[in-house]
Amino acid sequence: SKATLTVCVSGAAGQIAYSLLPLIARGDVFGQDQPIELRLLEIKPALDALHGVVMELYDCAFPLVRNIVETDDPMVAFQHADVTILSGSFPRRPGMERRDLIAKNVNIFKAQGQALDRVASKNVKVVVVGNPSNTNALVLSHFAPSIPKQNITALTRLDQNRAVGQIAMRTGVNADQVEGVAIWGNHSATQYPDVTHAKVNGEAVMPKLGGRQAVAEEFIPCIQKRGAAILKARGLSSAMSAANAIGDHLRSWILGDSKVVSMAVASDGSYDVKPGVYFSFPVRCGGGGDYEIVQGIEMDEFSRKYVSATTEELFAERQEALELCAV
Ligand code: NAI
């Protein structure tokens, strides 16, 4: 039988984790034959709540779960981690400036990067979920120099799934009949959900969505602001769909995927995005944790405008984060 996979989750008493942990523990992400050790990280004030979650995990009697660790120490949580999901971060409070949010999170992801560097498997696969996720991934990578940059990613699969879901709904097809959607850039309101090459049943999506102007005025803002719309409707941020997307992201990345998927990865200069930021690109996952940024996608004026806006935002966040790291 397979060796146990050590999976670490931060923010483990949070909303997303509450939807994610059963997916992982049931074998929906890494496979039905993959034993799992869960190492769960929280901040001290949330350890009681975390213990409640762990009690429930035991009460699920998941056959694949070999061991569960609860801790508020990243050095304990990340010990020998093969996969690390970072959903714990400092939330944006009303009236908080972006710089303040980045400052709070720089401290968290600095400490976690240092711990990861020291105690995780050198082959650990990391997905950063806590916002601002792309820049948190950058800070983490900066402080974990012994972990290859390609092993650190940030989640934009939720944005891709949202775009696919909207196209399926609006054109009256099943989600699996939609292909060629890509998310470029930051997981923020500047992200570019690109449907210029998307197809349903082999036919171009753009005309079906009403053409470029309708896509620019209606479809793209719908995806960019979807998180805020769910927060308004539910009174809580998206958690079920986020957990589902994390499962999709990891399944594609670790087990491979015949379809092109979007994830934020260290830019390598592809599509004129200078190296130095974590940027969402369409990638092809070959299995075993290998992936490559899909090359040669034609980018017209329409797309370039969006890509350059989100690139600029990421470099501005990078600047702020690096200044704060140096302090
Ligand atoms: P939540 O507030 O329910 O849970 C977050 C948990 O993280 C809390 O239990 C908190 O105690 C914990 N935490 C805070 N600082 C921590 C630290 N330093 N170490 C370990 N744990 C820590 O939030 P929820 O709904 O689970 O969302 C988590 C994050 O994911 C938020 O930042 C949210 O904005 C982000 N998010 C990102 C998405 C994406 O697509 N990239 C989608 C949805 C949410």
- The beta strands (E) that lie in 72-222 are given as 83-86, 125-128, 152-154, 178-179, 182-184, 192-194, 199-200, 203-204
Q: What's the pLDDT band for 96 if we cut at 50, 70, 90?
A: confident
Is 271:182 a contact under the CB 8 Å cutoff?
no
Report the nearest-CA residue for atom 13 of ligand 1.
88
121-137 average pLDDT score:
97
| CA of 99 relative to ligand 1 center, distance in Å | 18
Cβ(158) – ligand 1 distance below 6 Å: yes
Q: Token digits for 110?
A: 């600095």
11-36 average pLDDT score:
98
Q: What percent of the chain has pLDDT over 70?
A: 100
Report the atom number in ligand 1 closest to the C-alpha of 128. Answer: 41
Give pLDDT, residue 1. Answer: 83
Report the Cα 284 to chain-centroid distance in Å.
16
Give pLDDT, residue 8. Answer: 98
Question: Is 187 labeled as catalytic in the residue annotation?
Answer: yes
Element (H, E) at 254: helix 240-255
* Antiparallel, parallel or unpaired: β 178-179 and 182-184: unpaired
Give the Cα separation of 118 and 81 in Å (integer). 11
11-27 average pLDDT score:
98
Per residue in 257-314, pLDDT (tens digit) is 999 999 999 999 999 999 999 999 999 999 989 999 999 999 999 999 999 999 999 9
Residues contacting residue 219 through CB under 8 Å, at least 6 positions apart: 166, 193, 195, 209
> From the candidates 51, 80, 142, 187, which is the catalytic residue?
187
pTM recorded for the entire structure: 0.98
Give pLDDT, residue 95. Answer: 80
Q: What percent of the chain has pLDDT over 90?
A: 95
What is the pLDDT of the chain when averaged over all its residues?
A: 96
Cβ(241) – ligand 1 distance below 6 Å: no
| CA of 38 relative to ligand 1 center, distance in Å | 18
Report the nearest-CA residue for atom 33 of ligand 1.
130
Q: What's the pLDDT band for 327 if we cut at 50, 70, 90?
A: low
